[in-house]
Amino acid sequence: MQQSALAGASLLSGAALKANPREKAPAGAPFNLYYGIHDGMFAENAGPDFLDQIRWAYDMGFRAMEDNDMMKRPKEQQQKIGDLMAKLGMRMGVFVIDDGDNWSTSFTTGKKEFTDKFVNYCHEAVEAAKRTHAKWMTVVLGYFDRELPVGIQTGNIIDLLRRCAEIFEPAGLVMVIECLSDNPDLYLRHSADGYALCRAVNSPSCKVLFDMYHMQRNEGDIIQHLDWAWDEIGYLQIGDNPGRNEPSTGEMNYKNIFKHVYRKGYKGILGMEHGTQNPGKAGEMDLIKAYRDCDNFL
């Protein structure tokens, strides 16, 4: 009787695994959208090496990556990352064009010492993009200049962005200007203002980076603001609020947001620019489960 009971339990267990193969097949299935991981996001499960993290994330179903600090990496490492991504068929998201002055008043002043330096750095960004097969690059417009009228600052920014666009257009690259919520001294905080700047620059190489975490803090009404600025949005980033962690850890309904951008035909990357609510290996798996749940919108 005991042997029969054990045999029956074994059969039931096997049937359950076949009916719900949660641990293996679904884990590696590609998501409906291109969610882009960051370095360190899966370091507990995959180890400290970024290349190993990329491979592990691919096995989990992710097909994109972004890296804010890519330009700070040695050229040889950039090439290795680009080669691995190409081999796996993964897409490269944004890296930041940061010449060291972005978080200052450099864009708004119009001063030659700042503008020429940034333009030169844009040329370096083109080479980094070639090595990593990147298309999009984040640009932070920095702070207000309290000694200049806002309209003059806006004109200075438009002039500099036009110079940069002339560099990126021939290479088929897109700089995405980010609206931020870090503090009220930042020039660009709202998606409508980013939309207006891109209209003024009038280039396919200048678009808005719509980071949903920042926009939830600054303006809310995410789906409506996405629709209003859609024609000038070039890139999306994710983070729930409050906390700036994975979807479903805050107040935002990411399942509906993902469904909305999918139905609008968005083919770009959604950068996972956020932390992990829970620590350790289990916390990383919780993050993946949150994305699986929110991506289940079809």
Q: What string of DSSP letters covers 255-280?
A: HHHHHHHHHTT--SEEE--S--SS-H
pLDDT at 27: 63
pLDDT at 65: 98
Distance, CA of 235 to CA of 137 (rounded, Å): 9
pLDDT at 4: 42
Provide block-wise average pLDDT over 10 residues at a time, the chain (298 residues).
Answer: 41 38 56 98 98 98 98 97 98 94 92 96 98 98 96 98 98 98 97 98 98 98 98 98 98 98 98 98 98 97
pLDDT at 12: 36
Domain 31-295 CATH assignment equals 3.20.20.150: yes
pLDDT at 180: 98
List of residues 6+ apart from 51 with CB closer than 8 A: 80, 81, 84
Domain parsing of the chain, residue ranges: 31-295
